[in-house]
Amino acid sequence: MAWTLSDDLDAFRAHAGGFLRARPDVNTTTLSVSSTLAALGIDVYGDRPPVFGWWHAADGEVAGAFLRTPPYPVALSAMPEEAAAALPAALAGRDPAPPGVNGPAAVAEAFAAAYGRENSGEVRVLRHERLFRLGTLRPPQPAPAGRARTATAADRDLLVAWWAAFRRDAGLPSSDDGRMIDDRIGGGRLMLWETGPEPVAMAAMGAPVAGAARVGPVYTPQAQRGRGYGGAVTAALSQAALDAGVRDVLLFTDLANPTSNALYQRLGYRVLGDYTSYAFAR
């Protein structure tokens, strides 16, 4: 039982792709990020080269995977806790040191505890999240004023600004999101809610992989919040995904936000599991 590390995206997808695609729901982050790297470029998340890895169980089968796209944390798939606990030692000495880790709750906890022991540094919980999968879609009733429409290239400047605002609100690193925005516009996977000449909310979705696609980000400017626009545009995008043949429509919520957690459940999203993000002191 051991980790294999690689800087080669093609090798990662060849060795770990089958494992990740077998459960595209619980492995949504590692699967979607690796697919985005392949589609949009190895530098789409930042200039530093990514690192990848897969875990061989005692029977020789791949039973876990991770990736890291600096400046982002280590992202873990589902895996045995012993695999997660062994990973910090395998990563030791790699530059830059990871700022944190995220993944299924028990797996991320095992990695974070081992990382703290290896590095004698502070480890703190950054965020508790919950992964949801759409069951039967129930659009909000009554629907808020306005309508959904698919974003176009003419909306790009607004979307770049909103994407950056979403990052600030979520405490995420700043990034050049132009390629991801263009990809979603080109694929018809970015929708706006509008009540007049100006949009009031947006919802985006990554490209489907192995029958699954994840909603995010969803953003409503501060002045427009509390009016149901975010839920309405999410429902419209979710319906569009179903119409396009997506089997598993997924999304993450921050458990510190009870409003959004309740909203998505009213729309028909059902709990799949809990995920945790940890931050490491530098």
pLDDT one-digit tens code per residue, 210-232: 999 999 999 999 999 999 999 99
Q: Higher model confidence: residue 118 or residue 34? A: 34
pLDDT for the residue 282 = 66
Lowest mean pLDDT among 60-64, 123-127, 174-178, 206-210: 174-178
pLDDT for the residue 65 = 98
**Residue 70: pLDDT over 70:** yes
Instruction: Tell me the pLDDT band of 173, cut-offs 50, 70 and 90.
Output: confident
**Residue 120: pLDDT over 80:** no
**Residue 9: pLDDT over 90:** yes
The yes or no reply on domain 134-272 and CATH 3.40.50.300 is no
Mean pLDDT of 113-142: 94
Mean pLDDT of 141-151: 95
**CA 60 distance to own-chain centroid:** 29
Instruction: Tell me the pLDDT band of 136, cut-offs 50, 70 and 90.
Output: very high
Q: In 3D, which of 134, 130, 132 has the Cα closest to residue 240?
A: 134
Mean pLDDT of 186-203: 96
pLDDT for the residue 179 = 96
**Residue 7: pLDDT over 90:** yes
Instruction: Tell me the pLDDT band of 6, cut-offs 50, 70 and 90.
Output: very high
pLDDT for the residue 75 = 98
DSSP secondary-structure letter at 58?
T
**DSSP strands (E only) in 17-157:** 51-56, 62-68, 74-76, 100-104, 123-134, 147-150
CA atoms within 13 A on the CB side of 38: 16
pLDDT for the residue 171 = 84
**Residue 121: pLDDT over 80:** no
Query: How far is it, in rounded angstroms, from Cα 70 to Cα 67?
Result: 10
User: What contacts 218, CB < 8 A, 6 or more positions away?
Assistant: 201, 202, 203, 204, 230, 233, 234, 251
pLDDT for the residue 177 = 92
pLDDT for the residue 95 = 82
pLDDT one-digit tens code per residue, 22-68: 999 999 999 999 999 999 999 999 999 999 999 999 999 999 999 99
Percent of the chain with pLDDT over 70: 100
Instruction: Tell me the pLDDT band of 79, cut-offs 50, 70 and 90.
Output: very high
What's the whole-number average pLDDT of the chain?
95
Q: In 3D, which of 185, 186, 164 has the Cα closest to residue 176?
A: 164
3-class secondary structure, 245 = coil
pLDDT one-digit tens code per residue, 84-95: 999 999 999 888
